[in-house]
Structure 1
Amino acid sequence: MSDGFASRKQKVLIALNSDTPDKSPKGYVDEPLLPLIMLINKHKDYVTTSSCSGRICTYLEGMEESLATDDDGSQVMKDSEHKFQGEGEGEGDEHHSSLQTVEAEKRAKGGQWLYVSHDPVVIPTIGMEHWIVKTLFGSEAHRVTLMEDNCVDSVQDMTHSQLVYFKFEPMILHIEASTPEAAKLFLNHSLFSGYRNSGIVPSSKRTMLAIRSTLKLDVPIAYVSTTNSESSASSSSSTKSICVEPPKSVAEPKIHLMVSLAYLCTLIKLSNDKFQKNVAQIHRFEERLTEYLKDSNECSTKKKTGDQGEWEDKEARRQRKRIEGLRKQQDITKAETEKIEIDVLELGDTEVSLKSEVETVATAFP
């Protein structure tokens, strides 16, 4: 274990035990993950660096005037939590490449989480139409219009606009391991527990693990109009608008639903089912790690603990072994002494018995 890993782990443990909110939007660790995080952090070779127990959310991507550039020259797009990288361009497919460029530009900045829930969503039996829009679009619900009857003419508008995504994201853990060997062992147990999207993150300074499953759901459900605010306001009369909040004084681009309200309800139900599978998977993972981490800890500390399980340094171990050796030698000497005494007593009894027999014979034959 390197000194760098030990010091970083110590800082993480201090932060976890602190009342100060962490850097996540929520500000603290998700409660369903606390037993698993405590289990992992008790082991000398691992420490958790970030986590999420799972969530249902809607996300409005942002817009950037310029692109960031990665070390290898590829275009990289970032929002508050993820890094997006263009992939799979076809040779000579200029239209495909241009769409990826647009995708890069619109995802780069200003992303907004419209709704986040770390628990399954309870769907009401009445008033679902207003509820679902207000819930999933939050403070931007007053900008939402229902899906148009004919969206063919709007395809170009959609592809060049900001999109709103409905997401279900299962549990994710980021873990630093003390060595690459320790990371490989942990990764094997993660894969066997169903976290098939897990892997070791390349890094020259740390050995990092990302633990992910395949329960993810990521669907575009709406787009923001690319027209100016005046034309957007005038064209809104041709579409049904759901104003669950009073409109703001300044006209804003509309958010056009690309799917029906029934479809949004279906997405929520699918995500609720995935939540149940996600929780069951976390429990299985915790059970497997409980056995594995316990065994590996016992193997690594078997020769480093005293009789009561406390930590002891090299000198304390030497003194303990010396005392144990002397005690053992004393026990052997005592056992040998007791054996000699027993033999002497038995010899004395034999001598008395022989003397008695001689006297008996002498009396019988005077």
Structure 2
Amino acid sequence: MPKSNHRIGTRSAHIPSSFRRKKATILAELERPDNDYTDKSPKGSVDAEILELIAKINEFEGYVTTSSCAGRVAVFVEGRKALREDKSGVVDGASDAQQETGRDVSSNATSVGGGPGGKGHGNKWFPVPVKEVSSTSPTALHDLFQLEPKSTPSSGPTTSNLSYRPDLRLIKLSFSPLILHILCANLQGAKVLLAAAINAGFRESGVQSLKALDDEEAGVMLAIRTAGLGFDTVVGCVEEQEDYDVLLQVDKSCVDEHYLRMCMGVINERFVWNNERKERLIRELVKLNTESEANTQWEDADTRRERKRQEGLQRRAEKQDQNMRAQTSPETETKQESMLEEGLLPQYGI
């Protein structure tokens, strides 16, 4: 990882010591060999496609990346949702089979359950490799997404007989575009980087923490992201089946292979756009590097405004001085005398 040496948005004296320590720790982790590196992300490592961008950002003295994703295709299976019991004793969210068998679902209402979107107990996701599916199998994408096709003899749910119920757990195919979280040494540095991100097309970027307003040691967390490239669609649901008193969960498709191929076409196109915006962001960072080399001393808005005013006054004074010199120069006096002799100028005091 390159040593940070650019001072965009920060002066050396304005970088808190706590920020320097955090950055040193993070960079030390990033420099570890791939077989020895792991992080808290589901993948457990940094995406290779984003390493150049991360290196560009970490070159700046006042920035350090804390998490990242180059863009990802995934299948998300919702977890169990919270089950609520109404006044009649019927559990809202329990299936008919659960009500008929008398399973103790009311206890699950408090012990398991997630929020909206199924981000609760039992949710899972797995990444899908972005590649052209060369297989001629009529269920190639179903196999890739680990979905049981709806046309199998077990007759899973279809779009014609699928209806909503409170305990329904959906399976979604999604594309998440590039996202970065960057710790900035101060608010001014965050503003500079935010402007670069927006110029690159990451319109939904923004500051996530303003603790630095109360404690300058806290730093400013900036998220670089765009929601416009995201893609999310339902492709199936979880079906529970009993087999010898064992409750099995089967991920059933509710769409056909043609629909999945269309979705992958959309996702591949979004990946191209995602990469274009990433390259634009790299160019914006290169531009910041150039500006930092031309002006390494940071100044706030008021200081810059005063400097510009003084520069303007100085230019005006120099221009006035040049005009006065031109009027009193020997060449000007000789020219005026010649014009008087030729009667081209009026003569006063005669």
The alignment's TM-score, normalised by the length of structure 2, stands at 0.62
Give the alignment partner of residue 236 of structure 2, picking from 222, 232, 249.
Answer: 222
Find the counterpart in structure 2 of residue 336 from structure 1: none
Give the CA RMSD over aligned residues.
2.9
Checking the alignment, whether the CA contact within 8 Å between 1:223 and 1:257 is kept in structure 2 is: yes
Checking the alignment, whether the CA contact within 8 Å between 2:79 and 2:123 is kept in structure 1 is: yes
For 2:83 and 2:29, the matched residues in 1 are separated by 36
Checking the alignment, whether the CA contact within 8 Å between 1:43 and 1:297 is kept in structure 2 is: no
Find the counterpart in structure 2 of residue 207 from structure 1: 220
Structure 1 residues 297 and 183 mapped into 2: Cα distance closer, same or farther (>3 Å)? farther
For 1:179 and 1:169, the matched residues in 2 are separated by 29
Deviation at 1:197, TM superposition (A): 1.5
**Other structure's SS at 1:252 match:** strand
2:118 is aligned with 1:111? no
Structure 1 residues 66 and 177 mapped into 2: Cα distance closer, same or farther (>3 Å)? farther
Find the counterpart in structure 2 of residue 295 from structure 1: 291
2:252 is aligned with 1:252? no
How many percent of aligned residue pairs carry the same amino acid? 25
Checking the alignment, whether the CA contact within 8 Å between 1:66 and 1:105 is kept in structure 2 is: no
* Counterpart residue type for residue 57 of structure 2: I
Find the counterpart in structure 2 of residue 123 from structure 1: 133
2:163 is aligned with 1:155? yes
Give the alignment partner of residue 261 of structure 2, picking from 260, 265, 268.
Answer: 265
Deviation at 1:211, TM superposition (A): 0.7
Checking the alignment, whether the CA contact within 8 Å between 1:189 and 1:289 is kept in structure 2 is: yes
**Other structure's SS at 2:133 match:** coil
User: Which one has the bigger helix percentage?
Assistant: 1
Structure 1 unaligned blocks of 5 or more: 68-100, 234-249, 303-366
Deviation at 1:228, TM superposition (A): 4.8
Structure 2 unaligned blocks of 5 or more: 1-14, 85-112, 212-217, 299-350
The alignment's TM-score, normalised by the length of structure 1, stands at 0.60
Cα offsets for 1:247-274 (capped at 9, x unmatched): xxx5613323222221111111111111
2:68 is aligned with 1:51? yes
Find the counterpart in structure 1 of residue 200 from structure 2: 193
Structure 1 residues 150 and 136 mapped into 2: Cα distance closer, same or farther (>3 Å)? closer
Checking the alignment, whether the CA contact within 8 Å between 1:115 and 1:136 is kept in structure 2 is: no
Structure 1 residues 114 and 22 mapped into 2: Cα distance closer, same or farther (>3 Å)? closer
For 2:70 and 2:196, the matched residues in 1 are separated by 18
For 1:127 and 1:2, the matched residues in 2 are separated by 59
**Other structure's SS at 1:194 match:** coil
Number of equivalent positions: 243
Deviation at 1:150, TM superposition (A): 6.0
Deviation at 1:145, TM superposition (A): 3.6
Find the counterpart in structure 1 of residue 316 from structure 2: none
**Whose relative contact order is higher, 1 or 2, with alpha carbons under 8 Å and at least 6 apart?**
2
Deviation at 1:5, TM superposition (A): 1.0
Give the alignment partner of residue 7 of structure 1, picking from 13, 21, 26.
Answer: 21
For 1:105 and 1:126, the matched residues in 2 are separated by 34
Structure 1 residues 221 and 197 mapped into 2: Cα distance closer, same or farther (>3 Å)? same
Indicate the structure (1 or 2) with the bigger Cα radius of gyration: 1
Structure 1 residues 18 and 298 mapped into 2: Cα distance closer, same or farther (>3 Å)? farther
2:57 is aligned with 1:40? yes
1:77-156 map, 5 Å:
104=116, 106-117=118-129, 120-124=130-134, 126-129=136-139, 131-137=140-146, 141=147, 145-146=150-151, 151=159, 153-156=161-164
Find the counterpart in structure 2 of residue 328 from structure 1: none
For 1:203 and 1:47, the matched residues in 2 are separated by 17
